Structure 1
Amino acid sequence: MRGKEKIKGMFSSMQTMVIGTGTTKKRTKQTTYWYAEEQDNGVLKVQPINDNFVPSGPKMAVEMEMFLDSYNPEPELYAEKVLPQMLELNKTISLGESHRQKGEGYSAENEFTKAINIDSLSVRANFGLGLTYLDRGEISRADDIFRRLVCINATYEKKHKHLFNDFGISLRKNGMHSQALEYYRKAENFNVEDENLCLNIARVFYEMGKLKECLEYLKKSLHLNKDLEEACIFLDFLYGKDFVKEHTIENIKKNRINKFATAK
């Protein structure tokens, strides 16, 4: 029996392919390399390894019995190629994030670009580059990154939720409301129980002039956290603008539970 240590590392699988037709038809074997990691819940996920020896692209769940039968360990390649490249990629992205936090936009761009050259599907690197462009007010280049991120949708994971949120805030502040809303909605798919995310979506809808949708998400935010100060301030603001009926806001302030605002 396999011990308690979880599976993690580089593996290969062999696939037989038929090429050609008629008398030229022949069978050939193709080797594919994967990064495999067993999750805490016992599910085993594999991810393709690209030409730069880093895991890249969407992850797939594989049944343990099938994995043990069809995937072969490659410990030497993992130690000599994959692990060093993974560490280098993470180091490059972290350096880019550090430069960006310090306001060193061009140094950040350089590091994020190097990371994308290693792994074009890296969510962190693409988000970092997009945020760097937004920091510099380069809307057109940021929109290019936005389009790229849409295309690599399959690689998103729950851990990327905060990146969606950060990117959405920057998009909204730069007047890119439709893009911000799309990204917030993607983040919402990862975690529907997030009061701050609902509040941010409400803000986007308000700035887009969509009051009904704004109030809907403000309700959700207060339902998830009846004491969220920013949501209460936003609600007071809407009341001051005569967008919320008086009896409704009083109900929310008194009960902070399931009774919510209705649009006039």
Structure 2
Amino acid sequence: MATLPHVEEDNYIKGVFSIEKTGKIGTGTTARRVKQQVYFFAEQVDEDTVVLQGLNPENVPSGAKAEITKDELLEDYLPEPSLYNEVMSKLREVQKAVARGEKRRKRGETFTAEFEFSKALQLDEQNVRANFGIGMCYMQRGEEDKAKEVFDRIIKLDAAFQDEHKHLFNEYGIELRKKKMFDEAVDYYQRALELTRDDENLFYNLSRAEFESGNYRQALEAANECLALAPNHPEGLKIKAYIEKKGLA
């Protein structure tokens, strides 16, 4: 008799599942196909949708998320209930370390906060909140070289620019500008716009970063994109009017 996956009180599935995948290793005459079991943390979010996230080597859900149907999960994936408790324990460990780090950082205790964020990153190096948090610590202390290293990590994480992290995303972008890291701010907003181009505030923030970098033509272009989405955007109107009045572009 098959073991059932973990089921929450609302009858939604939440657990660890696996699927067998075939891949190729080697090249030429030494190439061969191998089968391996790939593990995912699955969480049902509505009647028909399940969100999958792969497990990293520490058995922590990490990296990009994907959506499949509940039927696809139950037909194609095998439940792995023996892993559930370990995964949930480590996931809580990461979440608690991040929460402690955020609390300490907001108090200005950046060294203690960095320690907590680092603990989370040891288990999940792609954790968005921990990466943002440790980057903010470095910027608050004026450690620009370390901040740039973290920036290079964050800008590669698609999840960093998703709606669920929008408040962190906005705070981080503002901090980049405050620390006069204008080139990084421009790269940051351009990266965000690769994932979504329907947010007028992203275009405004890009315009502001370009303006402060002295790139007035690009600043005007970004302001125009902002106003195409929101014609009455007050800050967008101001920066456009200023550039045109001064003949900067």
Normalising by structure 2, report the TM-score.
Answer: 0.79
**Which of 41, 50, 69 in structure 2 is aligned with 1:44?**
50
CA offset digits 1:17-50 (Å, max 9, x no partner): 7889xxxx99976433210123448443322112
- The answer to whether the aligner puts 1:168 opposite 2:173 as a matched pair is yes
Write the distance in 2 (CA, Å) between the matches of 1:226 and 1:15: 50
**Distance in 2, Cα, partners of 1:242 & 1:151:** 38
Distance 1:223 1:40, change over 3 A: farther
Equivalence map 1:87-126=2 (5 Å): 87-126=92-131
Which deviates more from structure 2 when the two are superposed, residues 108-117 or residues 195-204? 195-204
Deviations 1:161-216 (A, max 9, x none): 33332222212222222211121123234443333322211111111212222122
Q: Please say if 1:142 is aligned against 2:142.
A: no
Tell me which amino acid in the other structure corresponds to 2:54: P
Match of 1:180 in 2: 185
Equivalent AA in structure 1 for residue 183 of structure 2: S
Q: 9, 13, 16: which one pairs with 1:10?
A: 16
Residue aligned with 1:179, SS? helix
Structure-2 separation of matches of 1:216 and 1:18: 46
Q: Using a 3 Å threshold, how does the CA distance of structure 1 residues 26 and 215 change in structure 2: closer, same or farther? A: closer
Which residue number corresponds to residue 69 of structure 1?
A: 75
Q: Which residue is 1:54 aligned to?
A: 60
Which of the pair has more CA radius of gyration?
Answer: 1
Deviation (angstroms), 1:147: 1.6
Q: How many aligned residue pairs are there?
A: 239
Pairwise CA distance, 1:159: 2.0
- Decide whether aligned partners of structure 1 residues 10 and 172 sit closer, same or farther in structure 2, where only a CA change above 3 A counts: same
- State the identity %: 37
Alpha carbon RMSD of aligned pairs, Å? 3.4
- Asked whether the 8 Å contact 1:8–1:36 carries over to 2, the reply is yes
In structure 1, the gaps of 5 or more residues are: 245-262
Identify the structure with the greater strand proportion. Answer: 2
Assess, with a 3 A threshold, how the Cα gap between structure 1 residues 193 and 14 changes in structure 2: closer, same or farther. closer
Q: Contact 1:198/1:217 (CA < 8 Å) preserved in 2?
A: yes
- Give the Cα separation in 2 of the matches to 1:195 and 1:41: 33
Tell me the SS of whatever aligns to 1:242.
Answer: helix
Give CA deviations for 1:28-85 in whole Å, capped at 9, x if unaligned.
Answer: 764332101234484433221123221012223445554323311123421x211122
Aligned to 2:246: 243
C-alpha distance in 2 between matches for 1:107 and 1:186: 30
Query: Matched residues in 2 for 1:17 and 1:192: separation?
Result: 35
Match of 1:85 among 90, 102, 106: 90
1:185 & 1:120 partners in 2: Cα distance? 23
For 1:17 and 1:155, the matched residues in 2 are separated by 29
Q: Distance in 2 between matches of 1:227 and 1:27?
A: 58
- Greater CA deviation, 46-55 or 212-221? 212-221
Distance of 1:26 and 1:234 partners within structure 2: 59
